[in-house]
Chain A
Amino acid sequence: MQLNSNVPDGPLTEKWDSHRFSSKLVNPANRRKYKIIIVGTGLAGASAAATLAEQGYNVEAFCIQDSPRRAHSIAAQGGINAAKNYQNDGDSIMRLFYDTIKGGDFRSREANVYRLAQVSNNIIDQCVAQGVPFAREYGGTLANRSFGGAQVSRTFYARGQTGQQLLLGAYSALSRQIKSGKVTMQTRKEMMELVLVDGKARGIITRDIITGELEKHAADAVILATGGYGNAYFLSTNAMASNVTAAWRAHKKGAGFANPCFVQIHPTCIPVHGDYQSKLTLMSESLRNDGRVWVPKKPGDTRSPASIPEDERDYYLENKYPSFGNLVPRDVASRNAKEQCDAGKGVGDTHLAVYLDFAEAIRRDGKETILKKYGNLFQMYEKITDSNPLHEPMMIFPAVHYTMGGLWVDYNLMTNIPGLFAIGECNFSDHGANRLGASALMQGLADGYFIVGTSIGNYLGRNAIEKLSVENDEFDSAEKQVQKRLQKLLLASQNGAKGKTTVDEIHKELGLLLWDNCGMARNKGDLEKALIRLPAIQEKFWNNVYIPGSGQELNQSLERAGRLADFLEFAEIMIRDALMREESCGCHLREESQTEENEAKRDDEKYSYVSVWEHKGEGEVPELHKENLKFENVVPSQRSYK
């Protein structure tokens, strides 16, 4: 596997400009001769589809939902970062770059992260021009708030629904292009296979979710914008249908998968309450601007929060990290919550929760102000838990939220398969070992609006792409593979449900295996154990799962089974990756590698690289490749938020 990051030469601050200049272009009249497939219509996919269509390319966009507006980007609550420095508090592109690369614990590429910070400001301009109703000050200028891992206020927001408003902005731009005929929108179509012709990505096979029909689609380039793989854990804050399938299909066709063990566990989620639970709900990190995190000082204290006096409370984040306080990065906040619960100080029925308390903020700023900022979050919390955060502290616990790992891409966001691009959460590119709050929206839109267009032009300009239709051997054999796979999935169900188990039961089993052994804290013994136990779960799935109905109809059990089959395979490289990386960094805490204060201890000598896994065939051990990270502009330091 060849891994060339294709980072342009020259000073950091000039790389993107010089790269844009040296990239090939396709002249406007010729763009209409090309067709681009985009899979996924979240922030990255919708913004890319709209932008490429505006430039004149023909775009065919696919989503599994009934409308492109439903992608899970919509659930992002808190905000989007940009280096506007509207607050005059010392922000700059360099500072956003530095915070992001430090927040990622020095496991991302300098050049990519710097470019992200550079285009961040254009994103805000773009969204405002689309009519995104960001929060504003009374004078009419844009308002900002702070997020974890930053000491400036650079986060733009639209109440607690920033993701929704940004996605609807991208969706409106996409809708305009659908109307113009430049984008063909295919809803309720699931990508089942990637098609390569002469080693280049030239199309996909999809399944129509309503009819079960398989379809072949050819194009000159394929862009995956299919999100993250957090649902490998079954319980996560991801939408129910979020999955790894498209990325995994690409991986099995040769695309490297980078840093699969880097999974962000978000500190502020509503705790688990029962085994019937289908998903976990995030409470935005923005709450940590005003909420104070605490547990009782005494282990096993079961008094109600109101009856625990001030001096018997441990505001452990404020005490331990005086300069960042409650706004430490997510990985640090999550690990500390786990530490408190492990020490017996967890609260609530399950003792797997800590308090997030707004009492002081309400006293200081008044109920009105707090409700204006967080009203919808408080409402959501109350609906789920039947408890009002105005009167008693929230209970929160960490949950799987975002995956920093993803398909390996070069500076052009192209995978190692020519013509296959990966954007948004689907790639590994910008967040290293930990993503800072309000950076996912920034990256998704940076990739879609401002980066991938240059890459597509450069790719098409440099490569002679032969015209082809779907009537050829590669498309036929890919379609047959998909058919065979669907038949195999249904094989165990032939003799009825008796003695069988459901898709969700097996998914929960996989989720628990990963959460217990490859979750917030990892060690060699547990990871090795998980690797040994995984094949038994895979076997159980293939021999014992019962899927009612057929493949020729709307069959939600079959859809879930197909996605779970891929999660079951994918889990192996996740565990192997965590096992291989015998250092702690960002989200990845190896218990063997901690500082004296129990903070993550990196090993830059040995692990300052991106791990990239290559699929070697069914049943074969995947091969590890390394892209060494070079730091020419920042000095990797031990992260300290004290």
Chain B
Amino acid sequence: MSDKQKNIDLNLEIWRQKDSRAQGDFSTYTLQNISTDMSFLEMLDVLNEKLTMEGGEPVAFDHDCREGICGMCGAVVDGIAHGPEPETTLCQLHMRHFKSGDTIVIEPFRSRAFPVQKDLIVDRGALDRVIQAGGYVSINTGGTPDANATAIPSATAELAMDAAACIGCGACVASCPNGSAMLFTGAKISQLSLLPQGKAERKERALSMVTAMDKEGFGNCTNERECEAVCPKGISIGNIARMNREFVKASFF
């Protein structure tokens, strides 16, 4: 590969906001000679090292595993949560998907239920509270039957796993025009309603998780499918349909 393709120059428009009370705004930065093998977050590291040594303030952003599984990272890049590559978290997005001279606009995951705490960092505690409302099987440690006591067809286990793959990053909420968390909530309700272990509590679970979701200020689903399009784990909106069935059954039957 030639040098030209290996290294690119970039203009960055990044949302800067001092804290949750402050008014934020975009700031513009330029970076030269960015290797296309870098991840998006490594590009931000390079920017932050540069800002630090210039006496400026580095951009605050959430990140941890940098392997696409912890769900900590995320920002809206050029209008798309986690950026342009499908089924890819921000940490797994690589600079080879950008061209020299590109202007990249980077914003936090915005939603009523996700207040900005600083720059690109938002508070996603609402998602934890939705899980606390019923995203579990109510069993204590110990006294459980042998793991092979209940056979679960492989296809069912795989469907449950498809839903369970959710990393709780909140991209679905950030990309939904209604700020809905139904993909997130639907994935957990689906996982547990598909498996025999979750069946005993399926009614209360559906009712209380949906109630918690509304209480946190998440919006409703109007079938925009934006959530599915940006989900880094490819969670299907079929899970929202499953959640709705669970909710309806729990409400009327």
- A interface list, Cβ under 8 A from B: 47, 50-51, 54, 65-72, 74-75, 84, 86, 122, 124-142, 158-159, 161, 163-165, 168, 171-173, 175-176, 178-179, 185, 187, 210, 239-241, 273-274, 276-279, 281-282, 379-380, 383-384, 386, 449-450, 453, 496-498, 500, 502, 504-505, 546, 548-549, 553-554, 556-557
Q: Considering the complex, which residues of chain B in the window 91-107 have a beta carbon less than 8 Å from any beta carbon of chain A?
A: 92, 94, 96
Q: Would you give the shortest CB distance from A103 to chain B, in whole angstroms? A: 24
Check B25 for interface membership: any CB of A closer than 8 A: no
Check B58 for interface membership: any CB of A closer than 8 A: yes
- The number of chain B residues with a CB under 8 A from chain A is 79
Query: In the bound complex, do residue A276 and residue B45 qualify as a contact, i.e. CB atoms below 8 Å apart?
Result: yes
Q: Which residues of B contact A549 (CB under 8 A)?
A: 57
Question: Which secondary structure dominates chain B's binding surface?
Answer: loop
Query: In the bound complex, do residue B141 and residue A140 qualify as a contact, i.e. CB atoms below 8 Å apart?
Result: no
- Report, nearest first, the 3 A-B pairs whose CB atoms are least far apart: A140-B151, A172-B136, A129-B144
Query: In the bound complex, do residue A497 and residue B121 qualify as a contact, i.e. CB atoms below 8 Å apart?
Result: no
Q: Which residue of A has the minimal Cβ distance to B198?
A: A131
Query: In the bound complex, do residue B71 and residue A70 qualify as a contact, i.e. CB atoms below 8 Å apart?
Result: yes
Query: In the bound complex, do residue B72 and residue A548 qualify as a contact, i.e. CB atoms below 8 Å apart?
Result: no
Check B127 for interface membership: any CB of A closer than 8 A: yes
**Docked pose: A158 CA to B131 CA in angstroms:** 21
Q: Would you give the shortest CB distance from B39 to chain A, in whole angstroms? A: 8
Check B248 for interface membership: any CB of A closer than 8 A: no
Q: Which residues of A contact B81 (CB under 8 A)?
A: none
**Docked pose: A354 CA to B67 CA in angstroms:** 21
Q: Would you give the shortest CB distance from B92 to chain A, in whole angstroms? A: 5
Query: In the bound complex, do residue A239 and residue B64 qualify as a contact, i.e. CB atoms below 8 Å apart?
Result: yes
**Docked pose: A16 CA to B235 CA in angstroms:** 43
Indicate the member of A84, A383, A502 with the most B CB atoms within 10 Å: A383
Query: In the bound complex, do residue B131 and residue A175 qualify as a contact, i.e. CB atoms below 8 Å apart?
Result: yes
Kindly identify which residue among B53, B85, B197 contacts A502, using a CB–CB cutoff of 8 Å.
B53
24 contacts between A and B (CB under 8 A): A75-B70, A124-B147, A128-B197, A129-B144, A130-B139, A131-B137, A133-B164, A134-B147, A135-B161, A142-B148, A168-B164, A175-B136, A240-B65, A240-B66, A274-B35, A380-B68, A383-B92, A384-B39, A384-B94, A386-B94, A497-B53, A504-B45, A548-B56, A553-B118
Query: In the bound complex, do residue A131 and residue B53 qualify as a contact, i.e. CB atoms below 8 Å apart?
Result: no
Query: In the bound complex, do residue A54 and residue B141 qualify as a contact, i.e. CB atoms below 8 Å apart?
Result: yes
- CB-CB contacts of B138-150 with A at 8 A, as 1s and 0s? 1111101111101
Check B226 for interface membership: any CB of A closer than 8 A: no
Kindly identify which residue among A125, A172, A505 contacts B144, using a CB–CB cutoff of 8 Å.
A125
Q: Would you give the shortest CB distance from A389 to chain B, in whole angstroms? A: 16
**Docked pose: A279 CA to B121 CA in angstroms:** 21
Query: In the bound complex, do residue A136 and residue B136 qualify as a contact, i.e. CB atoms below 8 Å apart?
Result: no
Given contacts A122-B144, A278-B45, 4 further A-B pairs with CB under 8 A are A84-B148, A133-B195, A449-B142, A500-B53
Query: In the bound complex, do residue A546 and residue B124 qualify as a contact, i.e. CB atoms below 8 Å apart?
Result: no
Q: Which residue of A has the minimal Cβ distance to B141?
A: A51
Query: In the bound complex, do residue B151 and residue A176 qualify as a contact, i.e. CB atoms below 8 Å apart?
Result: no
Query: In the bound complex, do residue B148 and residue A86 qualify as a contact, i.e. CB atoms below 8 Å apart?
Result: yes
Q: Which residue of A has the minimal Cβ distance to B52?
A: A502
Q: Which residues of A contact B12 (CB under 8 A)?
A: none
Query: In the bound complex, do residue A66 and residue B153 qualify as a contact, i.e. CB atoms below 8 Å apart?
Result: no
Q: Would you give the shortest CB distance from A185 to chain B, in whole angstroms? A: 8
Check B88 for interface membership: any CB of A closer than 8 A: yes
A70-B71, A240-B64, A278-B42 known; A556 vs B53 contact (CB < 8 Å): no
- CB-CB contacts of B39-72 with A at 8 A, as 1s and 0s? 1011001100101111111101011111111111
Q: Would you give the shortest CB distance from B1 to chain A, in whole angstroms? A: 10
Q: Would you give the shortest CB distance from B129 to chain A, in whole angstroms? A: 9
Q: Would you give the shortest CB distance from A451 to chain B, in whole angstroms? A: 11
**Docked pose: A330 CA to B54 CA in angstroms:** 43
A51-B141, A449-B141 known; A557 vs B58 contact (CB < 8 Å): yes
Check B178 for interface membership: any CB of A closer than 8 A: no
Q: Would you give the shortest CB distance from B121 to chain A, in whole angstroms? A: 7
Kindly identify which residue among A67, A158, A161 contacts B69, using a CB–CB cutoff of 8 Å.
A161
Q: Would you give the shortest CB distance from B116 to chain A, in whole angstroms? A: 11
A69-B128, A72-B64, A239-B65 known; A141 vs B133 contact (CB < 8 Å): no
Query: In the bound complex, do residue A179 and residue B157 qualify as a contact, i.e. CB atoms below 8 Å apart?
Result: no
**Docked pose: A139 CA to B157 CA in angstroms:** 11
A65-B64, A278-B45 known; A50 vs B54 contact (CB < 8 Å): no
Q: Would you give the shortest CB distance from B9 to chain A, in whole angstroms? A: 15
Query: In the bound complex, do residue B152 and residue A179 qualify as a contact, i.e. CB atoms below 8 Å apart?
Result: no
**Docked pose: A130 CA to B128 CA in angstroms:** 17
**Docked pose: A46 CA to B192 CA in angstroms:** 20
Kindly identify which residue among B69, B124, B133, B151 contacts A179, using a CB–CB cutoff of 8 Å.
B133
Query: In the bound complex, do residue A159 and residue B55 qualify as a contact, i.e. CB atoms below 8 Å apart?
Result: no
Query: In the bound complex, do residue A136 and residue B70 qualify as a contact, i.e. CB atoms below 8 Å apart?
Result: no
Query: In the bound complex, do residue B131 and residue A172 qualify as a contact, i.e. CB atoms below 8 Å apart?
Result: yes
Q: Would you give the shortest CB distance from A83 to chain B, in whole angstroms? A: 12
Query: In the bound complex, do residue B88 and residue A502 qualify as a contact, i.e. CB atoms below 8 Å apart?
Result: no
Query: In the bound complex, do residue A497 and residue B69 qualify as a contact, i.e. CB atoms below 8 Å apart?
Result: no
Q: Would you give the shortest CB distance from B143 to chain A, in whole angstroms? A: 9
Query: In the bound complex, do residue A131 and residue B191 qualify as a contact, i.e. CB atoms below 8 Å apart?
Result: yes
Check B160 for interface membership: any CB of A closer than 8 A: yes
Q: Which residue of B has the minimal Cβ distance to A139?
A: B151
Indicate the member of A496, A553, A556 with the most B CB atoms within 10 Å: A556
Query: In the bound complex, do residue B151 and residue A141 qualify as a contact, i.e. CB atoms below 8 Å apart?
Result: yes
Q: Would you give the shortest CB distance from A636 to chain B, in whole angstroms? A: 33
Q: Would you give the shortest CB distance from A457 to chain B, in whole angstroms? A: 14
Check B23 for interface membership: any CB of A closer than 8 A: no
